[in-house]
Amino acid sequence: MLTAMSVVPLVDIIAKILSKSYPVIEVSWSRFFFHSLWLLPVLYWRKLNWWRVPKKPGVQLFRSLMLTSATVLFFLAIKSNPIPNALTLLFISPLVVATIAPFVLGEKFDIIMGLGVLAGFIGVVVVLQPNTEEFRPSLMYAFAAGICYGLYIVSTRKLSLSAPPIVTLFYTALVGTIALTPFIISDWVMPDLRSIALMAAMGLFAATAHFLIIKAFEFASASELSPFNYFEIIGAIFFSYLVFDFLPNTTAIIGLTVIIISGLIVSWRAIKINKQLDSKVESRIERI
């Protein structure tokens, strides 16, 4: 998961560079299109029957659409906002996971976790700064992306072990490509060779990162892995400074800190509760 979070900022940096010359929807489409192309040789080499209807097709489709939505929304946010600021709002995804996981994955949720989620949304308000001159409505795209990405994480956990990771990854990219194709026709801008190379690299980095995420969910729960999402901010700040000469301001750092701490508390509590539940189940089995 740490390796995946180290690769993801490269996708965002390339997307921001490309969005200066191309429509966001085209940049998003290229991310999924090249993602698909990179996986085709792997599928052929491993002799995987990707054309067959996958297990849990409804969950596969929902997962893919959530990642597609999160990608488009986040790319819209970083087009006119610094990546670290937008990423801060994307970090509500672990809070979304903690809130939804009890209903979908059977994980527990208590009052401490509820307070952590509430604190996280206070951090969101700090970053957004509504009712002030600093408020930038375009950052709401990142907030919406965080919700979609949280749903993507939960559905990824739901799908773990139901299909080979490469197949799940390919379906995600294929659905994203097909879903976005109708929207790129009217505003298509023909990319030059440099841009095509960047798009191909973006697809490769995205495929690599999400393959690692899927593999991670085979070995740990959604709540256990959620804190590792925050590792992404380190790479985002580093590359944003390196490429765009940007560092987040004090308000953004405060909001980010609140969101990260609340997310860590929620994840820590979820892990503790689930371990206690597992211990109770094991003790009952031993008595039987």
Among 22-31, 46-55, 235-244, the minimum mean pLDDT is found in: 46-55
Instruction: Evaluate if residue 280 carries a pLDDT over 80.
Output: no
Between 28 and 273, residue with greater pLDDT: 28
> Angle between the 193-216 and 24-45 helix axes, to the nearest 10 degrees?
60
Do residues 154 and 100 lie in contact, with contact meaning Cβ atoms separated by under 8 Å? yes
By percentage, how much of the chain surpasses pLDDT 90? 29
Sequence letter at residue 258: V
> Which residue do the tokens 């929902």 mark?
62
Number of structural domains in the chain: 1
Percentage above 70 pLDDT, the chain: 84
pLDDT in tens, 78-93: 998 888 888 888 878 8
Mean pLDDT confidence for 133-157: 86
What pLDDT, on the 0 to 100 scale, is given for residue 287?
41
State the residue for tokens 């998003």. 28
| Residue range 214-247, pLDDT digits in tens | 777 777 766 667 667 777 878 888 888 888 888 8
Model pLDDT, residue 66: 95
- Closest Cα partner for 217 from 257, 273, 167, 158? 158
64/179 Cα distance (integer angstroms)? 10
Residue among 256, 96, 223 at smallest CA distance from 157? 223
Q: d(Cα 101, Cα 95) in Å, to the nearest integer?
A: 10
pLDDT at 15: 96
* Residue 33 structural domain: 2-287
Does the structure show a pLDDT above 60 at 277?
Answer: no
